């Protein structure tokens, strides 16, 4: 998946660009501000109520586990329903294996590793959904033409996979990393 950090000013509509700029701010952000920025981003993604509920209850382990089970079940269903060439069937199997590893990292609070794993999951999902288009330099622009919120989601995924995204993750507070992960988890749980 192409990182659109170089092209986001041309591709991302202004309201989404503002939400994204605040969410992935390079400065150390207080937790409350970061959560508010993530809620703004969730609003732009169209998952505000689900995301707000998740953020407010994620400290209760059972709620987080229930969310992760729903996430894993929904993504597995998406994977199974995706038609691919015979040669790409292996990619589907590998992706299902990654889901279990990803959710385990979240349960164990290894959020930096989970964020890296999530970026890989999103790259693989993009390939399954969009084929070789997901590897082209205009992939993010392509997804914005399909649907603005879907485009923003795939931009979010491309940022997580990018060098700036990985650098941001190294400096981010553990709670902020979980808040950012919950954005993608909530989006895909309701996809």
Check: CB of residue 11 under 8 Å from CB of residue 141.
yes
Q: How far is CA 134 from CA 49, 102, 124, 139, 151, in A?
A: 29, 22, 9, 5, 12
* Residues 6+ away with beta carbon under 8 Å from 103: 68, 71, 72
**Calpha distance 2→157 (Å, rounded):** 9
Residue 177 tokens read as 């990393």
- Burial code of 108-146, b = ≥16 C-beta within 10 A, e = fewer? eeebebbbbbbbbbbbbbbbbbbeeebeeeebbbbbbee
- pLDDT in 10s for each residue of the chain, 191 residues: 444 334 455 566 677 777 777 788 767 777 788 888 888 899 989 999 889 888 877 665 667 888 899 999 999 999 988 887 877 788 888 898 999 999 999 999 999 999 999 999 999 999 999 988 999 988 988 998 898 889 899 989 888 888 888 888 888 888 889 989 999 999 999 88
Check: CB of residue 135 under 8 Å from CB of residue 1.
yes
Total count of residues recorded for the chain: 191
């Amino acid at each position: 998946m192409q990182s659109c950090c170089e092209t986001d000013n041309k591709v991302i509509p202004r309201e989404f660009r503002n939400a994204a700029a605040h969410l992935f701010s390079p400065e150390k952000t207080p937790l409350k501000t970061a959560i508010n920025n993530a809620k703004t981003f969730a609003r732009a993604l169209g998952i505000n109520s689900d995301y707000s509920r998740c953020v407010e209850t994620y400290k209760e382990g059972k709620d987080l586990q229930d969310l992760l089970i729903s996430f894993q079940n929904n993504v597995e269903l998406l994977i199974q329903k995706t038609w691919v060439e015979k040669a790409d069937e292996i990619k589907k199997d590998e992706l299902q294996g990654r889901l279990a590893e990803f959710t385990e990292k979240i349960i164990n609070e290894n959020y930096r590793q989970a964020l890296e794993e999530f970026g890989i999951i999103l790259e693989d999902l993009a390939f399954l959904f969009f084929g070789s288009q997901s590897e082209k330099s205009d992939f993010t622009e392509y997804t914005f033409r399909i649907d603005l919120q879907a485009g923003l989601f795939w931009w979010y995924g491309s940022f997580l996979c990018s060098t700036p995204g990985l650098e941001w993750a190294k400096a981010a507070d553990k709670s902020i990393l979980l808040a950012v992960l919950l954005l993608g988890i909530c989006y895909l749980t309701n996809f």
